[in-house]
Amino acid sequence: MVREAHRRGLDVYFSFRINDVHDSFMPDEMATFKVNHPDWMLGKQNYGGVTSFPTALNFAVPEVRELKFRIIDEIFQKYDFDGLEIDFLRGAPYFMPGTEDENAPLLTEMLQQVRKHLDLRGEQRGRPIRLAVRVDESLRSCQLNGFDVQAWLEQELVDIIALGSGVMDIEVEEFKRLAASKGVLVYPCLYGWPSKYSPIPAELATGLALNYWAQGADGIYLFNWFPHSKNNSENNGPYMTGLMKQLGEPASLRANGRHIVFAADRGRPQSAYQYNWLHCVLPEVLPADKALEATLRVLETFSEQVQLHLQIEVKNLQADDEISVQLNGQPVSDWQRVGGDRLQAQVLPTTLRPGSNKVQMRLVQRSSHSKDDRVVNALELHVLQE
C-alpha cells in the first residue's frame, strides 16, 4: 500500500485506533492482553448518563500507554509511512468518570513521546513524519474526554486535527482560531451513520461539506465511506465515488448541487461517544406546552431563484395533528404531507440567515387516534436549484 501510494504521489498515514472497543460486542476480537489484564479496562461506567463499552482501556494505567507506544514504534520500524494518525475517537472514554481533567496531562505526555519518536525517525529518513489526531467536534467535548487540544497545539505536537465522528455540527472555527497560527490543518469529519443517515445522502454530504468549507476547513476527512463498485455491503459506491471528486471544491459542489440538504444534528450520545452531541436535540418528543427548539446551521446564502423547503419528520404523526413551526421567529405555514411521517413547507430565502437558524416546533392539537408521543426525528432544509 505504501509503495503504490508513493508511486502515485500520495502520502499515506497509518491510522491507529488507539482504544478500539469492537471487542465489547465482537468477542472473537478480544485482545490477549485484555484477557490477561482485566484491570487495564474501564468496565461499564456512567459518563453523564451514557454507559461506556466495558473493554475501553484505562489510559491512567502506565502499562497501557507503554503498550500503545510500542505498537507505534513497531509500525514505523517496519513501514515507510508518511505520517501517523492517532484516532482518539476509536474510542473514548480514556479515564474513569470524573478523573479526566487530572489525567489529561498523561495523554499530552504520551503525544510528547510519540512526537519525539516520529521526529527521530524522520531525521533518519531525511523527511518529516506528520502526526494527525482525531478528536471530538468541540473544544468542550475534548476537555470532557481529557483531550487537552490547546496544550497539544501550544507544544507543537500535532500537524493535523480531524474533528468528529458522526456529529454533523462541527465547531471548525474554534479549532481554527487555535490552530491557524501554528500551521496546523483542521479537517472536519463527514460521516453519517451515528446520526442515523445511513448511508449519508449525497445531498446532505454536499450541504455539510459547504458548511465546513465556509467555516474555514482546510480539507474534508471521510470516515466509513465505501467508494468501491464491488465488494460493497452498503451498495453506494457509484454515488460516493462521484461525490469524492467534488467534496474538495466548494465551487464545484455549488455548481453541481441541484439538490442540497442542510439538517439539524441528530443521533444523541452513544456508548462510544459519550461527550459528543452536546448541542444535539433530536430525536425528541414534540411537546404541547412549550416549543421544542432545534438549530439548522446554514452558512450559504440563496437567491430568489432557488426553492427552499423546510421538512420535519415526526414519528407517530396523525393526519389531524396540528403542528406549529417557526423559523427564526417567523411562522411557517401551508404544510404538505410528503410521504410517511414527513411534512414539507416552502420558505423564503429572506427567512434564513447565514449561520445558526432557530426552528421552534410545538404540537398545537393532538389527534385522538393515537396516544403515542409524537417524536421529531429529523429537521431539514432542502435547496432546489434549476
Q: How far apart are CA 94 and CA 88, in angstroms?
A: 9
Calculate what percentage of the chain has a pLDDT beyond 90.
Answer: 83
What are the residue boundaries of the structural domains of the chain, listed by start?
Answer: 2-258, 284-384
Encoded amino acid at 87, one letter: D
Query: Which residue bears the cell 474555514?
Result: 216
Cell representation of residue 363: 404540537
Do 2-258 and 284-384 show the same overall fold?
no
DSSP at 107? H
Q: Taking phi first (over 0 means left), then psi (-120 to 50 degrees means alpha), and beta for anything else, what does residue 231 get?
A: left
pLDDT of residue 231: 53
* pLDDT surpassing 80 at residue 230: no
pLDDT of residue 329: 97
* pLDDT surpassing 70 at residue 325: yes
pLDDT of residue 274: 87
pLDDT of residue 305: 86
What is the architecture of the domain spanning 284-384?
Answer: Sandwich (2.60)
Q: How far apart are CA 4 and CA 48, in angstroms?
A: 45
Q: What is the pTM of this model?
A: 0.94
* pLDDT surpassing 70 at residue 173: yes
What is the pLDDT confidence band of residue 328, given thresholds at 50, 70 and 90?
Answer: very high
Q: What's the chain's average pLDDT?
A: 94
* pLDDT surpassing 60 at residue 232: no
Question: Exposure string (b/e) for 36-49, b if CB count within 10 Å is 16 or more?
Answer: eeeebbbeebebee
Q: Region 146-157: what's the mean pLDDT?
A: 98
Question: Exposure string (b/e) for 184-205, b if CB count within 10 Å is 16 or more?
Answer: bbbbbbbbbebbebebbbbbbb
pLDDT of residue 272: 78
Radius of gyration of the chain (CA): 23
Q: How far apart are CA 25 and CA 21, in angstroms?
A: 8
Q: 6 or 256: which carries more pLDDT confidence?
A: 6
* pLDDT surpassing 70 at residue 382: yes
pLDDT digits (tens, 9 = 90+) for 5-19: 999 999 999 999 999
What is the pLDDT confidence band of residue 49, given thresholds at 50, 70 and 90?
Answer: confident
What is the pLDDT confidence band of residue 171, given thresholds at 50, 70 and 90?
Answer: very high
pLDDT of residue 234: 59
pLDDT of residue 229: 64
Q: Taking phi first (over 0 means left), then psi (-120 to 50 degrees means alpha), and beta for anything else, what does residue 268 get?
A: left
H helix or E strand, kind and range, residue 79: none
CB atoms within 10 A of CB 288: 11
Whether 340 and 325 have beta carbons less than 8 Å apart is answered as: no
Topology, domain 2-258 = TIM Barrel (3.20.20)
pLDDT digits (tens, 9 = 90+) for 335-352: 999 988 999 999 999 999
Between the CA of residue 320 and those of 87, 278, 330, what are the distances in Å?
48, 34, 23
* pLDDT surpassing 80 at residue 236: no
Among 131, 129, 141, residue whose Cα is nearest residue 166: 141
Q: How far apart are CA 378 and CA 375, in angstroms?
A: 9
> Among 85-94, 195-204, 324-333, 367-376, where is mean pLDDT lowest?
195-204
